[in-house]
Amino acid sequence: MTASNTCEDCTTIFEFCTACTIGSCTVCAPPSVLSSGHCICPVGYYHSSVLCETCQSQFLGCIQCTLGSCTTCDTAQLFALSGTSCACSSGSTLTGTTCTLCSTLMTGCVTCDSPGVCDTCNTASHYVFDSGTCQCAVGYYKDAAGICQTCGSAIAGCTACDNNSTCTACDTANLYVLNGTVCGCATDYALVGGVCVDCHIPCECPGHVWADATNTTCVAVCGDGLTYAPEQCDDSNVISGDGCSSTCG
């Protein structure tokens, strides 16, 4: 009410006001809020004409703004301020109306322009860039979870592979050679404790033959001068009567 006793609508005196007294609004129309006797647009809204509109309706990802300019972006949703609007932060890209991490969309990807095109890959995790995608570097393969694992962790002696069961190159410096899709020790070498060693080490196997599958026991050959169980002696021949029998017993 005015001093002239003329009844006036509160909205004509106070913008967004639905109830008032002389000189002060007491109730505001949502979403506006009361502030010092007046109605204002709350945080996350801006004053547009005669309405309070959400900052999101003006700028995607914006949580605080003025008319025509965003001032704060929703960092929790990976938005970052770019000029007067919001854009997806580095390492993420727009998927619909939200930002999604490139690494979530493409395994091994660090930065991307779109959900299907990677720009840079995570080299620290052994990924390399390949025509918009990230692949495991040479010497690594991608496991079921998409993580790059060393070929040698799946196939002993392997230095390059297509997967965890198909080796394409072996560690020749450590005497491995490709044998089909796996690596084996080169001729005259045997695998002992995961290492290719000369077949005469540590037990000088005659004929380069091991007696068991684990390559830890030598074959006993009577007459070779080396005594291994079940031999009792070996004098480098198979003649009896010279101190050791013809059967090395």
pLDDT of amino acid 199: 60
Separation between Cα atoms, residue 22 and residue 84, nearest integer Å: 39
Note the pLDDT of residue 206.
Answer: 42
Which phi and psi angles does 197 have, rounded to 5°?
Answer: -125, 160
In degrees rounded to 5, what are phi and psi of residue 154? Answer: -105, -35
* pLDDT the model gives residue 5: 66
pTM over 0.85: no
- Binning pLDDT at 50, 70 and 90, where does residue 60 land? very high
Mean pLDDT is lowest, of 116-130, 153-167, 191-205, 222-236, for: 191-205
Q: What pLDDT does 208 receive?
A: 46
Statement: residue 95 has pLDDT above 50: yes
Is pLDDT of 115 > 90? yes
Contact in structure between 81 and 69 (CB atoms under 8 Å): no
User: Beta strand pairing status for 62-66 and 69-73?
Assistant: antiparallel
The alpha helices in the chain, defined as continuous H runs, are: 10-13, 55-58, 102-105, 151-154
Calculate what percentage of the chain has a pLDDT beyond 70.
86
pLDDT band at 4; cut points 50, 70, 90: low
H helices of 76-203, where? Answer: 102-105, 151-154
**Given this model, what pLDDT does residue 41 score?**
95
Predicted pLDDT at 134: 97
From the number of C-beta atoms within 10 Å of its C-beta (0-12, 13-18, 19+), residue 96 rates as: exposed
Q: How far is CA 3 from the centre of its chain?
A: 72
Paired residues of 18 in beta bridges: none
| Model pLDDT for residues 203-230, shown as the tens digit of each residue | 544 444 555 555 555 667 787 666 777 8
Tens of pLDDT along 147-168? 999 999 999 999 999 999 999 9
- Kindly indicate the confidence band of residue 198, based on its pLDDT and cuts at 50, 70 and 90: confident
pLDDT recorded at residue 1: 40
**Is the pLDDT at 202 greater than 50, yes or no?**
no
126 contacts 135 by C-beta, under 8 angstroms: no
Q: Transcribe 28-53 into DSSP letters.
A: E-TT-EEETTEEEPPTTEEEETTEEE
Say which residues have a Cβ less than 8 Å from residue 90's Cβ, sequence separation at least 6. Answer: 80, 111
pLDDT at site 42: 95
SS3 66: strand
Lowest mean pLDDT of 65-74, 99-108, 140-149, 188-197, name the range.
188-197
Q: In the predicted model, is pLDDT for residue 17 greater than 60?
A: yes
pLDDT, residue 192, reads 67
- The lowest-confidence range among 40-49, 103-112, 171-180, 216-225 is 216-225
Residue 230: other Cβ atoms inside 10 A: 8
Per-residue pLDDT averaged across 33-41, rounded?
95
Q: What is the pLDDT of residues 65-86, one digit of tens each?
A: 999 999 999 999 999 999 999 9
Determine the residue type at 157. G
Domain-by-domain residue ranges, the chain?
A: 200-249
